[in-house]
Amino acid sequence: MPGGTVYFNELNTWNPEDAKAFYGDVLGWTFQEVPTGDGQTYILARSGDALAGGIFTYTSPMFDGAQEFWLTYFAVDDIDARCEAAKANGAHVRRAPFDVPGFGRIAVLDDPAGATLAFIQPA
């Protein structure tokens, strides 16, 4: 996969059941809950057999005050180098690169205009 392409989209929400009902009814998505290993679950959304995205559930107190939004993940070849390049070009790294077993290495940033995005170096 070429670097810089959209790799994954994730809804960050307080109300995953409401989101599942909405996207299930409107887009026909189906859902699969996957244990994350920390007592939580992650929700994969599918359109037919294709992966449509994921649903991340906010929990208190870690995310108190967080807005609900869709987060776009862009595939990168070297996440550490891309984060440094982003910072050098005015971005703010919200969450430094970290590993998600079976998925890849992720970082969350704000671009110079304040738009939030994520980088992923796929596993």
Q: What are the structural domain ranges in the chain?
A: 12-69, 76-123
At residue 36, the pLDDT reads: 85
- Kindly give the pairing relationship between strand 92-100 and strand 69-75: unpaired
Q: Which pLDDT does position 61 carry in this prediction?
A: 86
Q: Please give the pLDDT value at position 18.
A: 97
pLDDT at residue 87, rounded to an integer: 98
User: Going residue by residue through the chain (123 aa), what tens digit of pLDDT does each one get?
Assistant: 567 899 999 999 999 999 999 999 999 999 999 988 788 899 999 999 999 999 999 988 888 988 999 999 999 999 999 999 999 999 999 999 999 888 899 999 999 999 999 999 998
Domain 76-123, classified CATH 3.10.180.10, yes or no: yes
The answer for residues whose C-beta is within 8 angstroms of residue 91's C-beta and 6 or more apart is: 109, 110, 111, 112
